[in-house]
Structure 1
């Protein structure tokens, strides 16, 4: 039986701003994908990190490689994106920005354009089903693929931004943080910014990236993913913190992901506390709800129990996330009205 505390977090209206599509695939969807491709001999343990388990960052990226083997056609992407959106909606998420790197697979005829089109189709299908969730898409640059591919990705994102009536509204920079350097991606990111795409950049995910973080903060990005090692106590610097604070750049914080990926030693030492106590915009997110066996309700509950936050403080945290979505002000206003309308029901 669900207790009252669990019910509060599930009924809490939520905003999810850092969710990688392939990392958000649930056990149920993985099951469907495995049954379609038995020849791959993939088992559940290869696609998710269970309760109490941890992996190195490198091992986490190996998990994505396995999932990519299962998701390699337009049909797969449509199913995966549809399932992921439905699951976020069932968890009380009212606004979702999904992100993913468009891939091509010669064997199945999948193109990068077809990849994005399949995600857009899933978003539109879920809308026509009447799901109470507003979904947008951020096209992701994988830093491992270098300058040229990054520029191609931006051009693709630009094209979809103009043709999808606001469904594609930004760009994510992600991929293995130990590979490549931000300076090689700067031309693509500048082009994206200049054409009106919003930027959410994975930044300072691993130690000793001060130079790169400094460079990328000079853009500046509209939001930061993780930012684990920005502050001096974690090997960052006061000057990095000052840039983030001066530009009021919100952080997308993913507690379970960081603990299971071992970039943070334990929940109580998560950098959420550092930024939250400072009053800096901090958004609770899942990162990869499938891979890390979590959901957004659980992440809010973990935040509350770890840092002693009241229901009122959690409500405020959830509501303030609306200010940092990439959709226009009219959408923000609608969401704020929805939150106000739902408040009596959640605090009943």
Structure 2
């Protein structure tokens, strides 16, 4: 089966973690030539073939390196465009990209300016690919459509979290479709962020909520995880690794059903699960009718596994047939944060691909 040609939906992809090492190298070369960085070459800092980042080494990679390299408007635009092109080349037809809003003082960008810049690149990319397909009607490659999710970091203060929700409300008409809880799960509880997520649910109609959920043993007690499900009312949750039987029952019985964003290569390569790919909890969840499992990459630039490879992995390790692979890809349509028109576009794309 051609897993690249398979039309795919990506719902859990962090912008900064999805930048290829080659693209980071290009940014580094431009900055080095201009005398704007003392950082080591990304191809040295992140050697080709190194994907074994764990929870102790993963987050510092961003805070001490990637964020310092992608620290102005030209770098942000260059890397965002590269990420879009990479997903499109891998056969992704719908992408929900997520990012934590951050100011870029070197370019005079506020957090709002940061979000606006990313949305502008998405809009420009879609306009260019739309005009290209119009001028080449023989092309059968479906167009990538991208939406944006704004992330609240666990380290955020209640005020910072509220600002993210306000930015999501402000930029919802331009393509922001949801908010996310992310960040280092070793940083402790999230009770202080509850007002922001309640506001996201009640004050911003149509805004989706997704949560990093149980990705580490330290990422939540049963009480906290159940509170997040019941009070924050997510439509999707990500990783779902360290869940007690009580929390699993609540996930399976969630009103309206939950989307589960599962990232096999990330979890295995970061040592977040035991037993390798065969032991991944995808095998537990993908046949649970009450939930919708969606394969995702999380951070393809770090872990080196594009979405096409994630589908290949579940076929290889869990014995999914081609019809089951296509059905798995299609199920994700029902839990995207975009509206009915986009869902219908995706159904038509997948119908054509399967015919």
TM-score by length of 2: 0.89
Correspondent of 1:34 among 23, 28, 41: 28
What per-residue deviation string (whole Å, max 9, x for no partner) do you get for residues 209-233 of structure 1? 2232111111321100111112xxx
Q: CA deviation at 1:43?
A: 2.8
Q: CA deviation at 1:48?
A: 4.2
Whether contact under 8 Å (1:99, 1:140) holds in the other structure is: yes
CA distance in 2, matches of 1:326, 1:46: 38
Change (3 A) 1:47 1:261: farther
Q: CA deviation at 1:186?
A: 0.6
Q: CA deviation at 1:80?
A: 1.1
Please give the root-mean-square deviation of Cα atoms over the aligned residues, in Å.
Answer: 1.6
What per-residue deviation string (whole Å, max 9, x for no partner) do you get for residues 54-87 of structure 1? 2321201111121111111122111111110111
Are residues 1:93 and 2:103 paired? no
Correspondent of 1:172 among 173, 180, 183: 180
Which blocks of at least 5 consecutive residues in structure 1 are unaligned? Answer: 231-235
Q: CA deviation at 1:310?
A: 0.9
CA distance in 2, matches of 1:306, 1:48: 28
Q: CA deviation at 1:257?
A: 0.6
Q: Which residue of 1 aligns with 2:213?
A: 203
Q: Which residue of 2 aligns with 1:302?
A: 313
Whether contact under 8 Å (2:252, 2:288) holds in the other structure is: no
Whether contact under 8 Å (1:49, 1:292) holds in the other structure is: no
Whether contact under 8 Å (2:152, 2:182) holds in the other structure is: yes
Matches within 5 A, 1:1-348: 5=1, 8-38=2-32, 39-44=37-42, 48=46, 51=49, 53-65=51-63, 66-130=65-129, 132-161=143-172, 163-164=173-174, 167-194=175-202, 195-196=204-205, 197-208=207-218, 209=220, 210-218=222-230, 219-230=232-243, 236=244, 238-247=245-254, 248-265=257-274, 266-279=276-289, 280-344=291-355
Secondary structure, aligned partner of 1:200: strand
Q: How many residues align?
A: 329
Whether contact under 8 Å (1:201, 1:223) holds in the other structure is: yes
Q: CA deviation at 1:24?
A: 0.2
Moved more, 82-91 or 201-210: 201-210
TM-score by length of 1: 0.90
CA distance in 2, matches of 1:268, 1:84: 29
Q: Which residue of 2 aligns with 1:233?
A: none
